[in-house]
Amino acid sequence: MDQNSNTILNMLSDVKESMAALNEKLERVEKRLDQLGKVDSIEHRVTSNQIDITDIKDALERMEELQVARVERIATEILEASAKQNEAGVASVQKRLDTHLLKIGRVEEDILILQGDK
C-alpha cells in the first residue's frame, strides 16, 4: 500500500505542478490579451482622431469657403453701391452742364439779337 500511496502522491504532485504551469500560461495569455486590447483601443482612438481631424479640416474648409463667398458678396455690393453713387453723381453733373449750356445758348442768342439791332 505504501507504494500505491507514493505513486498517488507523485501523480498528485505532478498534477499540482501541471496546474501551476497551466496557471502561469493562463496569466501570460491574459496579459497578452490585455495588451492586445490596449493596442486595439489605441488603434481605435487613432482612427477616431483621424476621422475627427478630417472632419475638423472639412469644417474649416467649408468655413473658409463661406467667408470667401461672404467677402466676395460684400465686395460686389460695395462696388455696385459705389457705381450707383457715381452714376447718380455723373447724372447730376450732366444735368447741371445741360442747364448751363442752355443758359449759355440763351445768352448767345441774346447777344446775337442785340448785335443785330445795332
Residue 109 in grid coordinates: 442768342
Whole domain around residue 58: which residue ranges?
A: 1-85
Confidence (pLDDT) at 104? 94
Residue with cell 472639412: 58
Average pLDDT estimate for 81-90 = 89
Judge whether 114 lies within some domain: no
| 76, three cell numbers | 460686389
Average pLDDT over residues 40-51: 65
Percent of the chain at pLDDT > 90 equals: 21
Residue carrying C-alpha cell 491574459: 30
What integer pLDDT is reported at residue 108 of this predicted model? 92
Please check whether residue 95 lies inside any domain of the structure: no
CA distances from 118 to 53, 79, 108, 112 (A): 96, 58, 16, 10
Look up the pTM and report it.
0.41
Count of the separate structural domains present in the chain: 1
**Bigger pLDDT: 46 vs 82:** 82
Q: What is the largest CA-CA distance in the chain?
A: 172
Distances (CA, A) of 83 to 78, 97, 118: 8, 21, 52
